[in-house]
Amino acid sequence: MKIVVCIKQVPDTTEVKLDPKTGTLIRDGIPSIINPDDKGGLEYALQLKEEYGAEVTVITMGPPQAEAVLREAFAMGADRAILLTSRKFAGADTLATSNALAGALRVLDFDLILAGRQAIDGDTAQVGPQIAEHLGIPQVSYLEDLKFDGNKTFRIKKQLEDGYQIVEVESPCLLTCLASAVKPRYMSVKGIVEAWDKEVEIWTEEKIDVNEEKLGLKGSPTKVKKAGAKEMKAAGQVHDGLSPEEAADLIIAKLKEKYII
Amino acid sequence: MDFSFTKQEELFLQMIRDFAENEVKPLAAEIDDLERFPEETVAKMGKIGIMGIPVPKEYGGQGGTNQMYTMAVEELSRVCATTGVVVSAHTSLCIAPIMENGTEEQKQKYLPKLASGEWIGAFGLTEPNAGTDAAMQQTTAVEEEDAYVLNGSKIFITNAGYAHVYIVFAMTDKSLGNKGISAFIVEKGTPGFSIGKKEKKLGIRGSATCELIFENCRIPKENLLGKVGKGFGIAMKTLDGGRIGIASQALGIAQGAMDETVKYTKERKQFGKAIAQFQNTQFQLAEMETNVNAARFLVRSAAYRKDNGLPYSKDAAMAKLFAAQTAMEVTTKAVQLHGGYGYTREYPVERMMRDAKITEIYEGTSEVQRMVIAAALLK
């Protein structure tokens, strides 16, 4: 089986601070990480590899420094890594990004594509589903659990807002994963030692199968008009160790106190 | 000297911090409180290679550097000194002497299982009457047909009981003094070998520290480590390396106390402001931070020398002396800056202070380090 995992390098938003004047993210000095949902996808891919045998390829689009997340993926156990990087890809919104990734996937062999549900820096949850649409393959999003029959069929527990759904889908297909559904493995020491022994393949627009008009700023219909910080509210209170009944009583009392109920 | 990390070491630091924070820190208070050996953590560490960092890949190891190993012990000890010493004793005191002195058969037999963490390693040199004066070994090994028969006991043995492989020193010829000491590889379960009393300790309470007892314990001759009569040299060389591990542990404890103290002094308010705003606090923190960083440079330097095949005995002794002293001073100040809360088990600094003390004692007391440093200077 050939599995491709789409990953993204994102700033670790748990450490990001906002510039109080401009309301924009201060990214300087913030560590970059593999987007958590994508790392969940990589973990599923590595589990399938262990159980059924598979070649796991990771792919990312980004500036040259995005190579770091591909090295990390090698250290976790990925077999092959591709970095889509070129000035032509710059300024891409989700549509242009998914077009570039789909262009690369047309060149690659795959039975399964795994992507994260959404990235913590943009939270759009659009790129995975768009890739599936461009490629004309079935997709299941919000994957919470994954079973494989060892042949062609994946049985997926899909998270819904108020429950879950069990669906079956045949390869080739695309699944989007949740970070909360699986605990990604740690990089192994040996994986780290060997992470630079393998080559990260650099692909530009010339290598992929897509109309150049659909790439980068040119291929991006989204225009950001304004971005700002949410207004700060008063600090919250934490009440620990309450039983459900006590918690409910406390919430009711607080709501009454504020004349909300 | 260039202490900058390689790309691999930077990625390793990211992994080991993540692991320490998420897998080790949550257990630290509990294993201290219950004096419980963290077996589940050892299993997790084995799985990702932390139990065999500097072991070459051909022996089932990870092919990492000593620098990575010191970083691992530091980062683990930063949140839990017990976990740090489990790795340090296993790697420096059991794996290293087999790597450095073992025959090809011994390496093939022991290193893969030790490096994977399936087996834990330990080291038995200290006896009731042979502490700093390690040459006063009373455990004997008498040659008999195809075996050496061991009689005697060892005390204060880290990882005892949980370890499968023990590097044990014994007198093969008392008349030769320290030239009559030989080293042996002893496996758990060998008839005549048993684990005695478990010590109740001030700190590193999760680590198992016990007595080893040998009663007519027959060790097959192929388990002699190195040559007959070369045991004392093996022990001293092993401890040179071990000191880098313990220096890293001390450094980690000191850094952990720094982390806690910086956080606490910014939160704790007295006289209407955070205590971090008082110059006394600031001066204390500045002093502590400077010493921690000086200790780190000594540790890095010793590990760098070992990785590059340079003599490192004096460097390891200096790193251990200074890092242990720093760990004790910094943790004591950390408790002081936490005030009454720092003395309680609500905060981790009291545990860190208890854990720090052993680093001035084991694998050569601070006095022994001074002897080693001075001897290197005056030779």
CA distance A42 to A47: 9
| Polymer length of chain A | 261
Instruction: List CB contacts (< 8 A) between B267 and chain A.
Output: none
Q: Which residue has the higher pLDDT, A216 or A81?
A: A81
Q: Contact A193/B62, CB-based, under 8 Å?
A: yes
Cis ω for the linkage preceding B220 (within 30 of 0):
no
| Longest CA–CA separation in chain A, Å | 65
Which of A30, A50, A193 should we substitute to test contact with B (largest number of B Cβ atoms within 10 Å)?
A: A193
Q: C-alpha B196: how far from its chain's center? A: 21
Nearest 5 degrees, angle CA B293-CA B297-CA B298? 115
| Residue pLDDT tens, chain B, 379 long | 677 889 999 999 999 999 999 999 999 999 999 999 999 999 999 999 999 999 999 999 999 999 999 999 999 999 999 999 999 999 999 999 999 999 999 999 999 999 999 999 999 999 999 999 988 999 999 999 999 999 999 999 999 999 999 999 999 999 999 999 999 999 999 999 999 999 999 999 999 999 999 999 999 999 999 999 999 999 999 999 999 999 999 999 999 999 999 999 999 999 999 999 999 999 999 999 999 999 999 999 999 999 999 999 999 999 999 999 999 999 999 999 999 999 999 999 999 999 999 999 999 999 999 999 999 999 8
Instruction: List CB contacts (< 8 A) between B50 and chain A.
Output: 189
Instruction: List CB contacts (< 8 A) between B64 and chain A.
Output: 189-190, 192-193
Of B8, B52, B57, the CB nearest to A192: B8
CA distance B117 to B163: 10
Flag whether residue B11 sits within 8 Å of chain A, measured between CB atoms. yes
Flag whether residue A72 sits within 8 Å of chain B, measured between CB atoms. yes
Flag whether residue B19 sits within 8 Å of chain A, measured between CB atoms. yes
Q: What residues of B are labeled active site? A: 363
Q: Contact A195/B19, CB-based, under 8 Å?
A: no
Helical spans, DSSP H, in B49-198: 66-79, 81-88, 96-101, 104-115
Judged by phi (left if over 0) then psi (alpha if -120 to 50, else beta), residue B116 lies in: alpha
Interface contacts (A, B; CB < 8 Å): 50
Please give the pLDDT value at position A258: 82
Of A189, A193, A194, the CB nearest to B50: A189
Residue A122 has pLDDT above 90, yes or no: no
Instruction: List CB contacts (< 8 A) between B47 and chain A.
Output: 188
Exposed e or buried b per residue across A9-41, where buried means at least 16 C-beta atoms within 10 angstroms of its C-beta? bbbeeeeeeeeeeeeebeeeebebbbbbbbbbb
pTM of the model: 0.91
Of B7, B18, B52, the CB nearest to A186: B18
Q: Contact A189/B64, CB-based, under 8 Å?
A: yes
| pLDDT 10s digits, B320-332 | 999 999 999 999 9
Residue A228 has pLDDT above 90, yes or no: no
Please give the pLDDT value at position A231: 67
In percent, the amount of chain B with pLDDT more than 70 equals 99
Flag whether residue B64 sits within 8 Å of chain A, measured between CB atoms. yes
Residue A58 has pLDDT above 80, yes or no: yes
Instruction: List CB contacts (< 8 A) between A196 and chain B.
Output: 7-8
Flag whether residue B12 sits within 8 Å of chain A, measured between CB atoms. yes
